[in-house]
Structure 1
Amino acid sequence: MSDFCLVRQPVFGSTGSLIGYEIRFTDAEDGRAAFSRSLLSGTFDLVRNRLPAFVMASREQLLDGAFLAAESGSTVLLIPQQMVIDEPVIEAIARFLAVGGSIALDEVGATPAPTESLLPHTSWVRVDARAGDADTLAAICARVGTPAPGAKAAPKLIAANVEELAHYEATLACGFQAFQGTFFSRPEPLPASDMPQSTVAAMRLLGMARNSDINDRQLEDVIATDPVLTFQLLRLVNSAALGGRGVSSIGQALRLIGRNAFLRWLAVAVAAARKSKTGVDQELVRQAVERGRLLEQLVGSGRDSGTLFLVGLFSLLDAVFRMPLPEILDRVVLSPEANNALLVRSGPYATALDFAESYELGLFENATLIAKDMGVDQAKINDFYTNAIVWTAEALGAALDAQQSGMRKAS
């Protein structure tokens, strides 16, 4: 059971590749204890998934040497603008750089800050994409995006808070190499016809599986008509996350794992069917499945768990498939309560979605208050989140393997 919270937020490169995660911690004690506990427990390395982790540093953490225990090259320290840069801080940063770490100047704006004295030792500079117009951004880049005296290379530029296409285009034109923000969760819609046929079939199947009047034999008959779905689902239910049960038929799978688990795995198959061309696409699929698993755990094994999984997953499928959410929901029959939560944010499941969005944005205080109102044990929230990451990695790995096997068998 964890007594701290953390969340990861993706950092994308200019080609859409995933280049790292910013990891945010609870603000208690300036995050000092939270970072150390995450490192000792292994949670930090699990969440960063072998990619560089951008972590906000405090003066106290630097002087305590809190980051020296991290794996060499795993951590990029974000140095906030308000940090006083004196001799003890400079010495602490030098010790961190000596063990293979990197630093990034944060909150760099139009007015130079004292932290810019660190530019010769800086690998990254993060700028708010909303800091000003194109001329202002260009001036910032000219000031901090060139090699400082004594530096081997110019720092790379990260655009934070990219919320609109205009922000992305302006920062890309200025030469930014990395990007963060909600814009990447709202890609431009594509025509509905671009959705894979097997995905459309799987969505229809989701609606059938929720109908208690539809028996297992009827479901089996529908699945059997699609070779890709058949092999995909058999591989899914035989995955390590379900204990590798040796399931050899859809009928057997349904009898062994039950409708709720079948629905959940089918939903994963739907998300995994998205043809991921970039790191942004892949991360959206991961986020959708992680959100579903996170919400499911809020109610344990209660009767609402399956619906909450679908609500969490479907809440991001418009971004995954680049289609309006109402068009996606037209292809699957969810409960009225689930539809209301997704489309108008009302009803019993809307609160859970509010929790997920607050937590994913690092608004831990608000997320904790929502969880408390839901009757969720707040000490378990971080465990739920990290479990969702592990579970999703296993589930999507099995789903993608199954897709490839199914396609080979079908051909």
Structure 2
Amino acid sequence: MKSVSQCWNIADLASLARKALPAPVHAILEGGADDESAMARNRAAFADYALVPRVLNDVSQVDGAATVLGQRLAWPMVVAPTAIAGLFHSGGEVALARAAAATGALFTLSAMASRSIEEVAAAAPGPKAFQAYVFRDRGITRAQIQRARAAGYGALILTVDVPIPGNRERDRRADITLPPRLGARTFAAFASRPGWCLDKARHPMRLANFDDHCPRDGTSLSAYIAEQFDPTFNWADIAPLRRLWDGPLVLKGILRPEDACRAAAEGVDAVVLSNHGGRQLDTAVAPLDVLPRTVEALARRGGAAGAIQVILDGGIRRGTDMVKALALGAAGCMAGRPGLYGLAAGGQAGALRALQLLREEYGRDLGLLGLTATEQIDAGTIWRVPGPA
């Protein structure tokens, strides 16, 4: 089997990850909601745009740096929060955070991480954000936010598109739970990946930021997580959370321009256009499809509130995807699965390879477009491809 150093794009790492993971675990990584059409549209949306290069410009020096969520980054990438990354490799969130720091990206730690807020902060020196859910027990949410602030995380990202869990049928067909359990249907799949099984035996699954709250009665982590989401969470809850956090506050899971404008009115600093990787509401609109209208709606608001940043999450697999998102008005891009492919394929080295590939592609694409800086990307950089007549 080839190594991560022989992978030349994110698709290569995804293929290697599939070979490293038991089929039920791979289903968690790759699965979406229902028929998975929203997940597919996230990727397909980028094909609706073509890039338009400028020529005869000096591109001997290209700088892809950008300021995202108050942080000056080497390139406009935010590593998305992904729950229980330790499921795919014991390096988990520490490995991902170190890879992000090494490539100059911003790392986001999920509240549902397998490594603690403090452990990740101590292990990785780069810029970090903390992603929170508003749970039924508001005390858990407040405590995690306070811990993140004390540990030096620079931004707080509230995920707002999970009032209830989505219907992930691929997970059900795979008969997968957290932590994974052996059964008649899954024994062969796990037995075929002894390396993964040994890794999990040495590093058991846990929700590190819930050590004082996880059930001791045999309830699975899957069931526990599902019980924590609060369907009553609403706009009135934003102001109290704003008072808990004095840094950049972000809402992740916005898909309507009017919701982005409402977020601006509530004092939010940025929004992440996201359909949760296609894992919540199937047939939901792709974030790229609503990006131009969202940016226009915020611009019409005018003033400081209209200037909140918009980050695009969903379907990023290439540097050209990033360029297209920025040309449509995004301040930065967020991606989760690419880093997890690398992590599953080769631990920290694989995660680093994934982000290095994307960063190299992004810088090369700027040069091929005749651009020398991220700020030069504009609406003229892309062309909407006419659809079928």
TM-score normalised to structure 1 length: 0.35
Whose radius of gyration is greater, 1 or 2?
1
TM-score using structure 2 length: 0.36
Q: Which has the higher helix share?
A: 1
Q: Higher relative CO (CA 8 A, sep ≥ 6), structure 1 or 2?
A: 2
